[in-house]
Structures are given as structure tokens and as C-alpha cells.
Chain A
Amino acid sequence: MPEATLTAGAPPAAGRTRARRTSRHGSNVWAHVLLATGGLVMVFPFVWQLLTSLSTNAQVMSVPPVFWPGELQWGNYAEVFAKLPFLQEFWVSVSITVVRTVGQLVLCSMAGYAFARMRFPLRGMLLALVLSILMVPSQVYLIPQYQIVNGLGWLNTVAGIAAPGIFSAFGTFLMMQFFRGVPDSLEEAARLDGANPFQVFVRVMLPLAGPSLGALTIITVLWSWNDLLWPLIVSTRAESMPLAAGIATFAGRTTTDYTVMMAASVLAMAPILLLFVVMQRRVIDGLAHSGLK
């Protein structure tokens, strides 16, 4: 870490290095100015959203803008529950997120393990088939997926929204990459003790896979919570939509109820943003390692 080298005191190569360091350190002021300005632009919409969610509609529509609403309108948040089926939508969001995440953790780790460390006929071909999906934009399978869900009578249900997302080529790939790197000796030792492959997988391999499972969890939770297109296709009633679709639909119906819209958006984003702020290191590292949403 660069910070450590700086605070660790000047190494023996005294004079010149030291001078260069201080000059660099001095110019860090400009770096801070630039980053703080950029950071302000990045967070401004969030701050503005929070402020308008606590304003009156008249304040929102006033020119010049009212930056501080004065008396905070907490009532806007109460109105969210009256004007939107917010709790039902929240419940749908939570349900599809849990179902997809648990499903992917189980299925992707099992398939990833088998592709990485087991020998079976057609392994290469099956793997190529799974990975080929990664290159295909989702539009290419959405219409038949809709037909399946419709045929099962699963429109407007949690099962229908969650089902296709339980399976993931990307998750399988991610887990496979991890299991490929695990040393063989651990597995062999468990085998010698008489454990069957499933026991080896559960007792030896899964405990090692924590960071990868964590990354997969983060990606799946984020994507499930925020996804719009698929839920929009398979849910038509507001109360059976997840929040992402529910808010977009509400905004499509009413264009003037700004403050309630802002309050609803804040509530919809809040769980994920709070989780992110609490676990920021792990989220950022997880996403950086996997490289995809």
C-alpha cells in the first residue's frame, strides 16, 4: 500500500527521494480537489433524491430550486405505502433475489466443481454448450422463456420471475475457475478417508470456496434486485412485480407525484446501497474479480 510506504518513515535514500515525496505529497492536494469534485457529481443525484423525497411537490417544481426543504415531509414515505403496493413488491424482490441466489450458489458450485475436477464423457462438449450462452444476448432466449413460464401458468408469480435466473453459465464458469485452482492433495486425503465425491465437495471444497461464493452472491443479488426487463415481461399486475418494475410502472402512470416517486425510489434502493456501504471492500473486490454484473 502506498500509504504504508509513506508513513513508514523515510528509507535510507534520504535527500532526493524525500524532496520528491514531499513535492508529490503537496500535489496530492490537486488530486483531492479533482476527486472530491468528481465524487460530488457522482453522489449529487443520491443527495438530491433524498432531499426531494422530503420536500413538498411545490418545492420540487419551484424555480429557482429549493435546496433545503425546511420542514421535512416524512409523510411522503407514508404515502408510498398507500399509492404503491410497496410491501408486496418488496416481498417479490426479496423472494426472487433469495431464490435465484440460493439456487445459483448450489447449482453453479456443483456444476463448476464437476467441470473442474471430475472426468466424465462429453465433459468438454457440455462445458462448451454451457459457456456458449455467455456470448448470446438475452433477447435471443426471452420469447421462448416467456412461453415456458406462460405455459406453466407462472405469469405474475415469484417462481416465474425467478426460474430462468436460477441457472447461470457465468456462475458455473466463475466457480469452475475457482475449483481448478484448488490443490489436489486435499481432495485425495479426503478420498483416502473413504469420503464419497459429494462428501468431499461439501466438507472439503465448499469451505475453501468462500470468497468465490461471496462474489457470486454479490453479483446475483445485485442483478436480481435491479433487473427490469424480464420481470416486466412476465408480470403484469403491480402487486406481483419486483420493485424495479413496480417503480418504473408507477412512474409511467403518474408523472406529477414527484415526491412520492422519490420516496419510493429511495426505499427501493436503500437495502442494496446500505449493504454496499457496509461491505464495500468485498463488493468492489468481488465485482472486480468476476468482471461482470
Chain B
Amino acid sequence: MTSVDRSPRAGDGVASPARGSTPSPPVAQAGGPRRSRRRHDGWWPVLFVLPTMVGVVVFYLWPIVQTGYFSFTEWGAFGGQTWVGTENYVRLANDPDLGTAVVNTLVYTAIVLLGIPIAMVVASLLSRPGMRFTAFYRVLFFMPYVAMPTAVAMVWRLIFNGDFGILNWLLGLVGIDGPAWTSTPGFALVAVSVVGLWTSLGFAVIILSAGLRNIPPELYEAASLDGATAWRQFRSVTVPLLTPSVFFVTVITVINGFQLFDLLYALMGQANPAIQQTQSLVYLFYNEAFLRNDKGFAAAIAMVILLIVGAVTLLQFRMQRRWVTYA
């Protein structure tokens, strides 16, 4: 979404008389006299936009307002909300689970972000001149991204199993006694993060490959004419010109990282003794809202998630000037 099409709207500024053939009641006379109107659209825009607007307002915009309100209420057992002021937020601030969930979500996101350097290596290997079978490799790396998370989590459960998992068998070969990965706090988060990295790696590879393809070859030719070595070319041409793609992947990865739920839920299961120490922000929300039915409290959690995600995204855009080069 960073590369917003900035081409001017075709037809803007092209003066053309209003078509008399279209039914055009004198509504929709927006746009001053300076803006030359292409035509009268009459009531047509209503037909085109109304269904989406109604859906968006009913299912998204109004609910956002409602959740904001709910976060200041307590829900009775049989419905009905009572205003409790900032009580939910105070309770949340004193709830050790919030801190745990924030830290877990950050650790997960950080580990998944480690996939970006790996993806850079893979993407640059794929774009080497004369490289063959690239379509095949792309399919291999991209498959985890399109696979159903709950379904792949099932096999990862087996791989991570403490007693007969293939991972611990491999570790045993080099003399390491592996833990019961998915049910030991700490290790469980690492396990979930590794699977998260595995699922999102392909996406980063694809975006970074596209970024590499967009670097004009003339720049390399010019650089080599100036006597730049391969390493120098990589540092002075590839890296700076790839930073916009890296930035884009980073933003998307962080946003997705903060939404950690599916993998955690499917890999560990609700009955897992380590779930409380491993839960993410979204899991905390789900648990309070729909399992413990504490919807006022959960609404406060949702607002905190909104705040954190907004702050982190804003921070990333602020920092981009320091390291992203736009050609």
C-alpha cells in the first residue's frame, strides 16, 4: 500500500460538455466552476457506492465506535451494559497477563522479522543471472504462505512433540535433550515463532524479488564501468534501491505479527498448560471476549491493541526517512 498510484486521474482537466443523454437531476453539483465537469453522474454513484457504504458502516465503522464505548462498560450476565468509567483500563493496567501478552507478541514479531534477511538472501540467489528452476523454487518457498495455518499447525505439533517429535530426535543425534516444545513456556513461544517465520518467509521473498527486478540494469552497468566490485555494487546499488521493498515487507510483517492468533491457537490448543504464559494480545482478547464473556474488559484490550499497532506503525513511518531510499 506504500506504492499508491500517483498518476493524475485520466480525464481531469479535459473539458467536455455534459452529456444530455444521461438522466441527470440537478443533484451532485459538487465541484466549483473551476473544476471542469466531465459529465453529470446523477444518482448513479448512489447505486454504486451505497451497498458498500451500508456494509462498511454497519459492520465496521459503527462497531468501532461501539467498541470504544463498550470499553467503558461492564456487561451483565444476561446482557445490558453499565457505565464503569475507566475501570476496565485500570484493571487492564494491573493485569500481569497484558504485559505477558505484549512481550510475547513483540518476541513473536521480532523472530518472524528475522525472516527478512533470510528472504533477502533467497531473493538475491533467485535473481542471479542464468539461474534456472526459479519458478520451482518460488513455489517451494511460497507454499507455506498459502496453506491453511490450522492444518499445517497439526504437523508442526508432531514435529515439535517432546516424546517422539522428529525435531527432538534430530537434536538427540547431536546429544541435545530437547524439551516438550509446545507445552513448555518459553520454548512454546519459540516454536510458534519458528512456524510463523516459516509461513511468512515466502511473502517476503516474493516482494523482495519484485524489488530486485525493478532495479534498472543500467545502474549496474554504470557502476561496473566505474570499476565497482560486485560487493561494492551490492552495497551501493542493490541495498539502497531495495530499502523501499524491505520497508514495505517490514510494515506488513509487523502488522501481521501483532495479529498472531491462528498458529498459537492451533499449535498449542486451549487446554495447553503453557497457554497463559504464551498467549498473544489477540488471544488475550479472544479469551476475555468469547470464552470468559467479559466483553467490556475485552473491548478495552481491543482499544489497547489499536493504540499499540497505531503507535508502532506510525513509528515505522517516522523512521523510514532514516534508512529508506526512494529513487
Residues of chain A at the chain B interface (Cβ within 8 Å): 2-3, 5-6, 21, 24-25, 28, 31-32, 34-36, 38-39, 42-43, 45-46, 48-49, 52, 60-65, 107-108, 110-111, 113-123, 126, 129-130, 132-146, 148, 163-164, 166-167, 169, 172-173, 177, 180-184, 187-188, 191-192, 194, 196-198, 201, 222, 225-226, 228-229, 232-233, 243-245, 247-248, 251-252, 255, 258, 261-262, 264-266, 268-269, 272-273, 276-277, 280-281, 283-284, 287-288, 291-293
Contacts and interface: CB of A to CB of B under 8 A. Distances in A.
Contact of B313 (A118, A135, A243, A247): A135
Contacts of A129: 56-57, 61
Contacts of A272: 146-148
A291 B122 contact: no
A172 B50 CA distance: 13
A4 B260 CA distance: 42
23 contacts: A5-B129, A21-B129, A24-B128, A28-B132, A31-B128, A111-B49, A111-B53, A114-B45, A117-B9, A119-B31, A119-B38, A121-B30, A139-B302, A180-B5, A184-B10, A184-B38, A191-B21, A197-B22, A225-B148, A247-B266, A265-B148, A276-B139, A284-B142
Given A139-B305, A144-B62, A262 B169 contact: no
A113 B135 contact: no
Interface stretch (B86-94, B154-162, B185-193, B231-239): B154-162
Contacts, number: 342
Contact of A42 (B47, B49, B201, B206): B201
Contacts of A141: 59-60, 63-64, 67
A137 B259 CA distance: 8
B51 A107 contact: yes
B269 A251 contact: yes
Nearest to B259: A137
A21 B131 CA distance: 11
Nearest to B21: A194
Contact of A108 (B10, B52, B258): B52
A273 B143 contact: yes
A227 B294 CA distance: 24
B112 to A, nearest CB: 14
Nearest to A33: B125
B22 A136 contact: no
A167 B130 contact: no
What 8 A-B pairs are tightest by C-beta distance, nearest first?
Answer: A184-B11, A167-B55, A144-B63, A114-B48, A39-B140, A141-B63, A265-B151, A111-B52
B166 interface: yes
Contact of B49 (A126, A163, A180, A280): A126
A229 B262 CA distance: 7
Contacts of B159: 45, 48
A46 to B, nearest CB: 7
Contact of B146 (A62, A122, A283): A283
Given A110-B48, A114-B48, A184-B14, A139 B282 contact: yes
